[in-house]
Amino acid sequence: GSAIAQACPTGTFSEAQGLVSEQQCSTCPAGSSCSIGVLNHSLCSPGQVQPQPGEGACDYCAAGRYQDAPGQTVCSACTTPGVYCLAGASAPLPCPAGTHKNASLDVMTDPSQCVTCEAGTWCSVGSAVATPCAAGTVNPEPRQAECASCAAGTYQYEQGETACFGCTAGNYCPAGSSAELPCLAGS
């Protein structure tokens, strides 16, 4: 006795023709969504999940979690050192160069939580910790992605330093020296 065809409700789908009741519509499976009157379910996109069957929309992963595959029911925790996950993340994002993971946080949810590398250290993209500059290199500024070699005529024998020492009389120092080298006998 229907005057017009009724659509399968939200959370269900059907490709079949000639249905006579709402109960003949198929329930949308977990990991997907079904808006009103759809022929088939749609897998949740990366960054979204749906743990429950019969839902009309997928949920975005919360900040600090991510999902990199379509059609999933749970988000993964963003626990790899040196990364953070914004809300709706489809993959962890690395801390920017010159910063590293905040050791006081198990999960980071924003790039502002990445810690600035101190002077005398360096941090590449996605660093878990700051790395001290090697002997023969220095970093006088914070938030750097690499250390600079000591210039010719200077040296640095310790790690994690911010300045090079000048070579003393009777010695020479090529660029990147970690020690003074004595001039050859007779020179």
Global pTM value = 0.82
Judge whether residue 86 has pLDDT over 90.
yes
Residues in CB range of 29: below 8 A, 6 or more apart: 41, 53
Q: What is the pLDDT of residue 126?
A: 96
9-18, 40-49, 139-148: segment of lowest average pLDDT: 9-18
